[in-house]
Structure formats: C-alpha cells, structure tokens
Structure 1
Amino acid sequence: MASVQVPGTTAERPRTLGGGAAPGGARDWAEIQERMLVPLYQAVYERLEVGPATSLLGLGCRSGLALLLAAERGAQVSGVEPETELRELARARGLLVSADGQEAYGERTGAGLPRSAHSLVTVFDQLPGAESPTRVVAAATGATLRGGQVVLAVWGPPERCESAAVLDVARRRGQRVTGRPVAPFALSRPGAVEALLAGAGLRPAGGGLVSCPFAYADLESAVRGMLSTGLYQAAVEDSGLVLVAKELEEALHPYVRSDGSVRMSNVFRYVVAERSW
C-alpha cells in the first residue's frame, strides 16, 4: 500500500460527531453505520475494475472500510481523514491514513515509493456535509494522475430515500449553529454534481444509482448509527444530544419492524469523472 503524501490535499469534514459531541460517535460509525454503504463501494469498484493496477486514495475515508474492500481486490490503498478518532480506527485496521495528505509514515509503508497522485480518488462520504464541496472536489482533482479518475458520491433523490425524513432533524435544528442550511440532499438535484466537475475541469464518465438500505438491529442502534454520520453535529450543538436523540427516535418509528429492527430503503448516486489535463 502506498503512503499518502499529497501536498495541499485535505479531507474536509466540518462539524462531525467524531469530534466528541456524541460519546462513541467514531466507533458507532465503524461498528454500526459504515457497512450500510458497502453496496456503493462495491458497485464503484466493480464498474472501474479496481485491482492490482489501481492506486486508490480515499478522501474523508473515515474508519477505512472502503479502503479495506479495495485492498482485498489487490489495489494499493491509502487515505486522508482529519478526525483523530476515525483516523486511529483506520490505522488499527492496518491502513495508511494521514490527517491532511502530507503526513510521512517512514518505515511503516513497506510498499515502495510514496505517491503524490493516484489513478483513482474516491469521495464517498464527504460531500453531503461539506461546507465547501468545491474545495473538496478541487482537492480530489489535485490528487489524481492525468488520465486518472475521481468518484464522487451523494445521496440519491430524496423521494427515493426513506432516511430523508430522519435527516430532516439535522436540517431543522442545525442551521442556527452553522449559519447555512444543513442540506444532505443539496447535491442530489439534477446537474449539481456535474457543475462541480465542470468547475474542477473534470470530464464526466458515467455513474449510477445504488440501493443502500439502512438496517439496524433495534431503535437504539439506529439512533447511534445516524448520529455517527456527523450530519447532526450542529443540531446537537444547538439543542443538546438528549433532545436530538429523542427527535431521531420519533422520526425513526415508522421504520421499526415487528421484530424491533429498523430498516430504511435508500439510494445513493455516484459519478465517475476523468482528469484529462
């Protein structure tokens, strides 16, 4: 696996629960929520034939499950994750993950020369909560080799995502803290991702919609999983964890099944782009 040494590359993740607003948020992501996006990761890797010839950088890789799945296919993988707790969980999985793309690993790499650019850069989880999606895409572009590919992922149309009603708690309670709308679906509208690509000088090269059901053993796990996404951080700062968790429980009740488990059908969209310059 190659180490991450990408000057100027950052993984922007403002206002996330890994920073301590909800105790255990980072571990809840790794143990509960992260697996919900496995269908998305696998669909992208299959489409792009990720394998031994792939050098993959994950921006905002969180605790690293997407990187592990790519490594299982033989890819050289590395990541950037600014949140300390998430980064430590990724490193505990044996992954090479830096805080800002410029951290040296010395003898830990054991995988040849460090890379300053990669054949594939993925942005699976950053865009829905990013303060500046333009800056995120610019960072991804700068870390991509000429002829390489960038993958951006966003929520699908809200009418096809049952979690939209649950995410509305973040929208209603978060804006007073951030000074801007908390809008996980802002980039789901037609043409929004394409506009980001055009601004970065990237050429769209296909994409797709992937079903990613959110399934939890019980209501408590569902609340913890949703909180761990980081999208509720501003809501927690504004109203307190107890009140936000209570509203989440209420929003989740329609999706509780007879056995106590919780399931929400969701669709995610990914777009592949090529760097030709």
Structure 2
Amino acid sequence: MASAQATGTTAQHPRAADRTATHGPGPGRARDWAEIQERMLVPLYEAVYDRLEVGPATSVLGLGCRSGLALLLASGRGAQVAGQEPHAELRQLARDRRLRVGAADRTSPATGDVPRTAYSLVTVFEQLPGAAEPGRLVAGAAGLTLVGGHVVLAAWGPPERCESAAVLDVARRRAGRTTARDPFALSSPGGLEDLLLGAGLRPAGSGRVSCPFAYADLDSAVRGLLSTGLYDAAVEFSGGSLVAKELEEALHPYLLPGGAVRMANVFRYVIAERIR
C-alpha cells in the first residue's frame, strides 16, 4: 500500500463508503481484511505460538480463522493446520492460500466441517469480541481439542490501553438499538477465564501483547476497520456513508505528519488445557 496524504472527508474516499453498502464482510471487505487488517494481529499469533512452542508435533485448528494468516504462520513452523470460517468469501481467500478451511456455524464450531476430530491446539483469535454466545463458542472449541491439548482465547485488552477504543465507539453510537456487541465486553479481569468454567478446561497461562494498528493512509484505516465486522450493525442501522465519515473523523487524532495512521493497542490471551 502506498502512503498518501489523507485529508478531507468521505467524499474524497468513495471506496470506504461504497464497500459498506451490504451487511456482512462481502467480497470487498473480505479482501480488505486479507490485504489490510489481518496483519495487525501478527504479534498476538506469534506470542502464542512461541509460548506453546508450536512446531511439527502440533496440530492446529483455527476457529473463525478468516483468511488464514494465523494458520499460515503456524504452518511455517511445521505444524499441521486446518480452520473453520463461517463467511464464504473469507473461507475462499484462505483456501486460495492452500489452507484446509471448512465452513462452521457462527456460534457452535462443533457443528462445522473439519478434516479431523480433535487437535492439540485450538485457537479462537478473532471470534470472541463479536460473538453472541461466547460460552457456547468456547465449549465447542474444547470439544475439538485433544485431552491434554490447549485452547487459546483472545480479546481486546483494557480500553484504557487501546487507542482504538475511541474509534470503535463509532460502532456503538451508530448501531442504534440493534444487537451490536461491545468489543471490550471480555476485557475486564477474569472475563476470558470465566468462559472456561464448565467447558472442561483448566487455566494454563495468560499474557498481554502489543498490537499496534498501523495503516498507510486514512482510506486504508477506514477500510481495514470496517473489514473487522465490528461495524456491521452500525452500517445496517445508520448506513455505510455515515459510518465511514464518522470513522474518518475519529481517526484524525491518530494521523501522522506523512498521512499514515497509527494506534497503539493491547490484546490479551488466555491458554487453557483440556482436562476431560
């Protein structure tokens, strides 16, 4: 992505508004995720893989793996990898990377299609912040994990440690009375750990990772953030043009002199061992 000076309003960046016209990721937003947004969480993926010493002896299943970058990184370490992704466009992008990715129910991964019955590591890197039933999602992840294997859950860190919190607030304000999820709902102390109760999982470690969100320009920032799915309810309720315009305004404090955008963020992860 080439860096460009970004000034003005949404009218100067029509792609950002046009690509929000339909609910869900869609072809445009799915590719924006793969080309712009997914790399922002690489420090999280690498920190988890380093801590668990992911390698040739590891079988990894990524739930809600989107276009599959986390799986590619695990495969590069020699692990056997597979994924589940409910959105067809993202699933196809992952398959274009020669990854084995099947469809899945959005809330109950155990009902999806996967190449094998159980894995030594099941990751839930991106699904929890927007999940309607996170407890059910975690129970499904546990059911796909070998006894003695691990489940990894991840979520945003405390909002006061995330500069993107103010930008994400656009999604809340513009969603009206729809069912928009608070991306920081699991960020409070014990939020992720509480999901382990009753799932046959035992806490086995946790950590925080710095994941700056950095974009070449304002247009890329808007497109990348919209591709996360966290703004879908806002787009449906208020319209894509208005949401994109307010996103641009919220991003202005994070514009750098050359036109790039950077926000410091912290993500938290919990590692759990399946004990039964």
**Aligned residue pairs, count:** 251
Once residues 215 and 198 of structure 2 are traced to their aligned partners in structure 1, the CA distance between those partners, rounded to angstroms, is 38
2:67 aligns with: 63
Q: Does 2:259 align with 1:260?
A: yes
CA distance in 2, matches of 1:213, 1:52: 30
197-206 vs 220-229, greater mean Cα deviation: 197-206
Q: 1:244 to 1:45 in 2, by over 3 A?
A: same
1:54 paired with 2:58, answer yes
Q: Which amino acid aligns with 2:262?
A: R
> Residues 34 and 142 of structure 1: is their aligned pair in 2 closer, same or farther, counting only changes over 3 Å?
same
TM-score (norm 1): 0.87
Compute the displacement of 1:19 (Å).
5.6
Query: Structure 1's 231 and 20: CA in aligned 2 closer, same or farther, altered over 3 A?
Result: closer
Question: Are the equivalent residues in 1 in contact too, given 2:129–2:155 (CA < 8 A)?
Answer: yes
Find the residue that maps to 2:126 and give its secondary structure. coil
CA offset at residue 199 of structure 1?
A: 3.0
> Counterpart in 1 of 2:204?
205
Which consecutive unaligned segments of at least 5 residues does structure 2 have? Answer: 1-19, 105-110
Give 2:155's aligned residue.
154
Q: State the 4+ residue runs in structure 1 displaced beyond 6 angstroms.
A: none
C-alpha distance in 1, partners of 2:71/2:149?
18
Alignment of 1:52-201 (within 5 A): 52-100=56-104, 102-103=112-113, 114-178=115-179, 182-201=181-200
Q: Cα distance 1:102–1:189, how it changes in 2: closer, same or farther (>3 A)?
A: closer
Counterpart CA distance in 2 for 1:103 and 1:182 is 26
Let me know the Cα RMSD of the aligned residues.
1.7
| Matches of 1:17 and 1:132, distance apart in 2 | 27
Contact 1:175 1:182 in 2 (8 A): no
| 1:172 partner amino acid | R
Measure the CA separation in 2 of the matches of 1:175 and 1:65: 33
Structure 1 unmatched runs, 5+: 1-15, 105-113
| Alpha carbons 1:51, 1:70 under 8 Å: kept | yes
Q: Does the 8 Å contact 1:18/1:25 carry over to 2?
A: no
Q: Is the 8 A contact 2:63 2:85 kept in 1?
A: yes
Label 1:43 to 1:227 Cα distance change in 2 as closer, same or farther (>3 A). same
Post-superposition Cα deviations, 1:228-273, rounded to whole Å, max 9, x if no partner, equal 0000000000000000000000000000010000000000000000
- Show CA shifts across 1:177-223 (max 9, x none): 22xx5200000011111110113131000010000000000000000
Q: Secondary structure at the match of 1:274?
A: strand
CA distance in 2, matches of 1:23, 1:251: 25
TM superposition shift of 1:22? 6.3
Q: Is the 8 A contact 1:17 1:229 kept in 2?
A: no
**CA spacing shift, 1:202–1:248, aligned 2, 3 Å:** same
Q: Does the aligned pair in 2 maintain the 1:208–1:270 contact within 8 Å?
A: yes
Q: Which residue of 2 aligns with 1:219?
A: 218
Residues 1:175 and 1:272: Cα distance change in structure 2 (over 3 Å): farther
Q: TM-score, normalised by structure 2?
A: 0.88
The answer (yes or no) to whether the contact 1:54–1:76 under 8 Å persists in 2 is yes
